[in-house]
Amino acid sequence: MIGIVAVSHSHMLAHTAVALAGEMLGGQPVRIEIAAGLDEQTFGTDAVAVSEAIAAADSGDGVLVLMDMGSAVLSAELALDLLADDRRVRLCAAPFVEGLIAAAVSASGGADLDEAAAEASNALAGKQTHLDAVAVADVGSAPFGTSENGEVQRAAEITREIEWNGRGFAVAESGLVSRAEFVVDNPHGLHARPAARLVGAVRGLDSSVLLGNLTTGAGPAPASSLSRIAALGALAGHRLEVAATGADAAEAVDRVLALAARHFDEAPGLVTEAASVARGTGPLPASPGIGIGPSWQLAAAQFDTTDLDDPGRAETPAGERRRLDAAINRVRAEIDRLRVTAGTEAGIFEAHQVLLDDTEVLDAVHSRISSGAGAAHAWARVLDDGAAELDRLPDEYQRARAGDLRAVRNQVLAELTGRATRSVSRAGVLVAADLTPAQAAALDPAQVTGIVLANGSPTAHSTILVRAHGIPAVVGAGRRVLETAAGTTVALDGQTGALAIDPEPAVLAEFTERAVAQRLQRAAALVAAGQPAVTRDGMTVHVAANISDLADATAAVRNGADLAGLVRTEFLFLGRADAPSIDEQEQAYRALAEALDGRKLILRTLDVGGDKPLPYIEQPPEANPFLGMRGIRLTLARPELLRDQLTAIGRVAADHPVGVMFPMVTQLSELLAARHMLSEVVPPDIPLDIGIMVEVPATAAKTAAFADHVDFLSIGTNDLTQYAMAAERGNESLGSLADPLDPGVLHLIDMVSRAATGRARVAVCGEAAADPAAAPILLGLGVHELSVGPPSIPLVKAAVRELDSTSCRALATRALTCSSAEEVRALIP
């Protein structure tokens, strides 16, 4: 007897469907295996689990596999690749529940694989025939088939007045009916999302609305039914007719036309207007400024197998195996991160994960390493062979998978060889899925006029670097931006999130005008940037720079920074095969101090982990890296790293004004341990300001415990917001939650500032400090230093000069009583 495998995203759905099928069985029991969910609670599919289920279901007569949708199909296809012999396995496109029942019933009656597959594939027929009959009846009598008061009445009305004849609506008494035509110009037609917008647009109106597809003749479909709209098969370029009756008929038609003109709130040609951009939807503003230019994409690092430069190669095969495992783990962590932000596109990353775990591949690589090959060579050779095999397959889908294999090949090689970070800048607008912090750091602001990221979020470290470079950017723009052909003109506004790909001349002219206006505003602010920022009533606010390298330090001075309030030293540690030595660090910090020309330099000790893994620090994969070994937790666990860094900092502090700041401090004991180490490596007579970052809500609440052990507290609103709001900072779908102006976050800032008054200085160095809306509230809460990316300094100083500290305090007091960030933002004049 054949076996059956049920593949679903949901453990519960699959078990329930199998139980339902079991109820229907009259003949022999059928072997049905389940591969569903990543565990009982987590939705997802796993190719390895599918292949195991297939093996378990196979008694020799073959296995029929039924899947729900999306990655279930992908995983089932990958599972076939994992099987030694897949000739007796059939993937069946039948609907999951109906197909499962039909297949089980026929298998139980003795059907073979072909017969069961045919039965399953026909399983929709009953439902279709029934509903088509109802649909036909609907058109003749009550198109909406609803018993709700008014609907039946309207349905009868509309069918008296309108009839669809395939070429348009024939209208009996035209005075009672509003109608119009429109063209669908969404690249993917009226698919689910735009159709849902259409349903929403006419909901609640006193009108019955029908749609017909003039291009294909399909229809009519009530505009209140998502599935019936989908059945219109309206593709890009199709002409549709809308007809409505009832008191609001004209309004209904107007709304549909307006929606169509707005491309159903999608972005045809990927145009989004600033007005439609809200936090968490569509492209998010990420780095202010207007960017215009031809688009270009990052070329993946190329690794030629014959010429593989592998500086970290170990002495022994065992060492090489360890390096390979570590590199694969890092790639796995990076893919996990991308999967979180990829939303509906996560399937591609799931495929990459499966490839990383492919035991056949790993066995082949290990055997080459055992015979003396380096990990990089062995990995490249095995993956190249695999990709070449896929290239030869006749099936287009399978051939396309060679691309996945090569992507995974290059990612692991980039990690192994320390070349993960190299990216080459080109003139124009960079369009990319996402950037690692190291890739962002390597971009040249003189060439890159703008950045559009399909994924990403405004407080991801890569975005912060982009902002520090002053490159205008929008993030979370959706995967379709990746289809932009190289050289296409792209215009973006990093202040509002507006994005235009291949814009009309009028749109381009508007962007250009805005660019000119912003440049003038900046130029005016720059003139006064060297002066202190003093509020109208005489309160001085230090406006500091967040910097990562020498170019930033120079930019900080040029833009009028009073000091460098945050030096993200990790960027000295990224993109290399080993940690920088004490001398190397001293040289780098000294160069920053010299560039700052007497201004204080606050060096933050290494803050890696989370979204900043380092190739030479082996970290076991963590389910939640942001809640794991990062910041001071990691450096206290790797004391040699911290000791070297503090030694280098101490040397520079001997002849420059320097502060040291510890990231991610959660416990007083961590601060005391770090201070103790500092006292061991830096002589007591060297002046050195000591501070902590306040990024963990518990630390904010315990400020009183820390305040007497530090000179300053610097509030990292990026992390503080993600931890307070339980909204990961890299996850663009949580953009609306991760707002530092949420009153919950403001209360934490208030706690810090109250407990620190008279004991330690309070600064803010998260991205909120550069938000013009946030400045008056932060100052009102008692913050006296704002540390921002160098390009933001002139505008922040200009904004401070417009403020009055008494009004800021009143505003902050009101903000603390609000219930949401939106309410807080609405208070700001």
Interaction site with Mg ion (CB under 5 A): 695, 716, 719
Cα 468-442-461 angle, rounded to 5 deg: 50
- Interface with ligand PEP in residues 592-621 (CB under 6 A): 607
Instruction: Provide, rounded to whole angstroms, the least separation between the CB of residue 609 and ligand PEP.
Output: 10
Q: Per rule CB under 6 A, is residue 586 in the interface with ligand PEP?
A: no
Site string for ligand PEP, 538-577 (x = CB under 6 A): ----------------------------x-x---------
Integer Cα distance of 327 and 356 in angstroms: 11
Q: Per rule CB under 6 A, is residue 766 in the interface with ligand PEP?
A: yes
Distances in Å between the alpha carbon of 563 and those of 179, 183, 359, 596, 635? 65, 57, 53, 8, 26
Tokens 């990927």 appear where? 270
Q: Per rule CB under 6 A, is residue 752 in the interface with ligand PEP?
A: no
Q: Per rule CB under 6 A, is residue 716 in the interface with ligand PEP?
A: yes
Q: Which is nearer to ligand PEP, 412 or 468 (CB)?
A: 468
Beta bridge partners of 178: 244
**With CB under 6 A, what is the number of residues at the site for ligand PEP?**
11
Q: Which is nearer to ligand PEP, 411 or 717 (CB)?
A: 717
Instruction: Provide, rounded to whole angstroms, the least separation between the CB of residue 722 and Mg ion.
Output: 9
Instruction: Provide, rounded to whole angstroms, the least separation between the CB of residue 473 and Mg ion.
Output: 19
Q: Residues near 435 by Cβ (< 8 Å), separated by ≥ 6?
A: 298, 423, 443, 451, 453, 456, 462, 466
Q: Which is nearer to ligand PEP, 478 or 766 (CB)?
A: 766
Which of the stretches 215-223, 411-419, 475-483, 713-721 binds ligand PEP when contact is defined by CB under 6 A?
713-721
Instruction: Provide, rounded to whole angstroms, the least separation between the CB of residue 666 and Mg ion.
Output: 12
Q: With contact defined as beta carbons under 8 Å apart, do 413 and 308 qualify?
A: yes
Instruction: Provide, rounded to whole angstroms, the least separation between the CB of residue 286 and ligand PEP.
Output: 14
Q: Per rule CB under 6 A, is residue 457 in the interface with ligand PEP?
A: no
Which of the stretches 65-73, 514-522, 637-645, 712-720 binds ligand PEP when contact is defined by CB under 6 A?
712-720
Distances in Å between the alpha carbon of 571 and those of 20, 212, 425, 608, 787? 56, 58, 18, 10, 18
Query: What tokens appear for 17 in the block?
Result: 């469907």
Q: With contact defined as beta carbons under 8 Å apart, do 450 and 292 qualify?
A: yes
CA 306, 307, 311, 316: dihedral to nearest 10 degrees?
20
Distances in Å between the alpha carbon of 824 and those of 123, 719, 819? 55, 20, 8
Q: Exposed e or buried b for every residue in 443-460, given b needs 16+ CB within 10 A?
A: beeeebbbbbbbbbbbbb
Which of the stretches 156-164, 471-479, 592-600, 716-724 binds ligand PEP when contact is defined by CB under 6 A?
716-724
Integer Cα distance of 807 and 722 in angstroms: 29
Instruction: Provide, rounded to whole angstroms, the least separation between the CB of residue 612 and ligand PEP.
Output: 8
**β-strand 499-501 against 489-493: which pairing, if any?**
antiparallel
Q: Residues near 363 by Cβ (< 8 Å), separated by ≥ 6?
A: none
Q: With contact defined as beta carbons under 8 Å apart, do 376 and 413 qualify?
A: yes
Which one of ligand PEP, Mg ion, none interacts with residue 605, CB within 5 to 8 A by kind? Answer: none
Kindly tell me which residue out of 375, 465, 765, 795 binds ligand PEP, with binding defined by CB under 6 A: 765
Q: Per rule CB under 6 A, is residue 718 in the interface with ligand PEP?
A: yes
Task: Identify the H or E element spanning 91.
Answer: strand 89-92
Query: What tokens appear for 123 in the block?
Result: 């399983």
Burial of 665 (0-12, 13-18, 19+ CB in 10 A): buried
**C-alpha closest to that of 596 among 558, 634, 645, 539:** 558
- Write the DSSP assignment of 126-189 as a string of letters: HHHHHHHHHHHHHHHS-TT---STTHHHHHHHHHHHEEE-SSSEEESSGGG-EEEEEE---TT-
How many Cα atoms within 13 Å fall on the side-chain side of residue 570?
28
Q: Per rule CB under 6 A, is residue 411 in the interface with ligand PEP?
A: no
Beta bridge partners of 164: 169
Q: Which is nearer to Mg ion, 496 or 717 (CB)?
A: 717
Instruction: Provide, rounded to whole angstroms, the least separation between the CB of residue 703 and Mg ion.
Output: 17
Which one of Mg ion, ligand PEP, none interacts with residue 766, CB within 5 to 8 A by kind? Answer: ligand PEP
- The catalytic residue positions are 461, 765
Q: Which is nearer to Mg ion, 644 or 719 (CB)?
A: 719
Instruction: Provide, rounded to whole angstroms, the least separation between the CB of residue 778 and ligand PEP.
Output: 13
Which one of ligand PEP, Mg ion, none interacts with residue 77, CB within 5 to 8 A by kind? Answer: none
Q: Which is nearer to Mg ion, 670 or 695 (CB)?
A: 695
Cα 240-244-247 angle, rounded to 5 deg: 155
Q: How many residues does the chain have?
A: 829
Which one of ligand PEP, Mg ion, none interacts with residue 201, CB within 5 to 8 A by kind? Answer: none
Instruction: Provide, rounded to whole angstroms, the least separation between the CB of residue 695 and Mg ion.
Output: 5
Instruction: Provide, rounded to whole angstroms, the least separation between the CB of residue 462 and ligand PEP.
Output: 11
Q: Which is nearer to ligand PEP, 189 or 716 (CB)?
A: 716
Kindly tell me which residue out of 34, 464, 593, 727 binds ligand PEP, with binding defined by CB under 6 A: 464
Which one of Mg ion, ligand PEP, none interacts with residue 648, CB within 5 to 8 A by kind? Answer: none
Residue nearest to ligand PEP (CB): 716
Which one of ligand PEP, Mg ion, none interacts with residue 765, CB within 5 to 8 A by kind? Answer: ligand PEP
Q: Per rule CB under 6 A, is residue 625 in the interface with ligand PEP?
A: no
Burial of 147 (0-12, 13-18, 19+ CB in 10 A): exposed
Q: Which is nearer to ligand PEP, 75 or 718 (CB)?
A: 718
Q: Per rule CB under 6 A, is residue 717 in the interface with ligand PEP?
A: yes
Q: Exposed e or buried b for every residue in 88-113, given b needs 16+ CB within 10 A?
A: bbbbbebbbbbbbbbbbbbbbbebeb
Residue nearest to Mg ion (CB): 719
Burial of 247 (0-12, 13-18, 19+ CB in 10 A): exposed
Q: Per rule CB under 6 A, is residue 719 in the interface with ligand PEP?
A: yes
Residues at the site binding ligand PEP, with contacts judged by CB under 6 A: 464, 566, 568, 607, 695, 716-719, 765-766
